[in-house]
Structure 1
Amino acid sequence: MTVLEDEIATDTPTPSAPRRRVGWRATVIALAGLAAAGCVAWQLVAGAALGGVTVLYDAQPITCTGAEVGVMPAAIHDEFLSQVVQLKHGARCELRIQVMNDGWAEVQIDAVTLRMLAAGNATDLEVPFVNPNGSAGVVEGQDVVFALQGPLVVGAGELQTLEAPLVYGGDPHHMECTSTSWSIPAVTVSSHGQTRVLEPPAHSAFAFLFGDVEECG
């Protein structure tokens, strides 16, 4: 071997080392891609499960003792009818909320929020509990939130009824013969690590009249 050939043989790098480094990096990138794809797929599964869940009312969403319940044109559109309660001192009503799971997987009901019904609210309506399994309400601003113990699971194709009693104290911050209406409940559901807050249709708000319809005219 000549001196030149010996120098070339000595200076030529081994080609295998860089290839091993490139292969390792490619493996790491591939694994990261698989993990990201798996995460996205899991989120899609959870989103699909929750997408089939709705909150709605049956034919008698609110019933009362000591108060008349009627109907009137909804504020959103007069083709829809809203339930209207003529509140009187000592009245007690029962609000029935239906959670329908038309999805393919079971979901869990985590909490029920009743808007504008925290203690001292303008309507003087008190909510002592929510059935089933919601015994202690937590005030959040003007709302009261009942976390449901259990867990309360709704299987695919099943319907779960929630009931919230409304007790009228008779001392509202509204004048006689006035009324107020709003959408009361929101239901928090979860599946596969994702959570969603669901509400009844916008046209299904309840109205409360402070006084008698005949007397108020």
Structure 2
Amino acid sequence: MEELEVKVRKPVFEAESEEQKLKNIRVTWLGHATTLVQLPNGINILFDPIFAHRASPSQQAGPHRFTPPPCKIEDLPDIDIVCISHNHYDHLSWECMKKLRKRQKTRGGLKVFCPLGNVGFFREAGFAKEDVAETDWWDRAAVNRPGMRGFLEICCTPAQHGSGRSGRDQGISLWSSWMILYKDDEDSAQQRIFFAGDTGLRSRHSSRKKRSEYPICPIFREISLRLGIPQIMLLPI
């Protein structure tokens, strides 16, 4: 099979015109699962931020990135919300979260949404209790930031995956996907953005059956039936 080269380009987070800000949702893939979603109302949502070179407790050993991060945390625009899908090292970094918290402390603060069982990680990283929303599947939270216009809800949705940062905590904390529900005003159509995290399309185990013979995970249909079909889907490939 021919290998394809993935070119890394540094993103440019330039201020858009007021006219563009009123209509456009902007999505920037920052490598692996890390994705930045910028809403027309000025709210910036960062999913699973990983800017480290290794997904490991130590940067001296462990799995390393195939491509370098396209930018540094310092290059990002102000981040209002971080959504974490699960606590595996390639989706949740201690150093990255501490840097983001410190950076946003003087820029209006940072709100974190995470699945059940993960709040202790963020408290140890220096986050205040009120800055972390620990959620179960189907929990919904309305978001209201200073100066924000429009209506924004964040819904913790199911995923087919797992969790654990050592051999002793496998499956103890919850894993999830996320649905962002956004409206400019009461009369506008709702915009839905789905971040799948590490969810699998089909089940996987030790069977030698072809993957195509396994049933498709039912959560995708259930999420769409409950919340509506998303216009933007951020999926692992």
Report the TM-score, using the length of structure 1 for normalisation: 0.28
Bigger CA radius of gyration: 1
Larger proportion of helix: 1
**TM-score between both structures, scaled by the size of structure 2:** 0.27
**Higher relative contact order (Cα pairs below 8 Å, separated by 6+ residues):** 1
Indicate the structure with greater strand content: 1
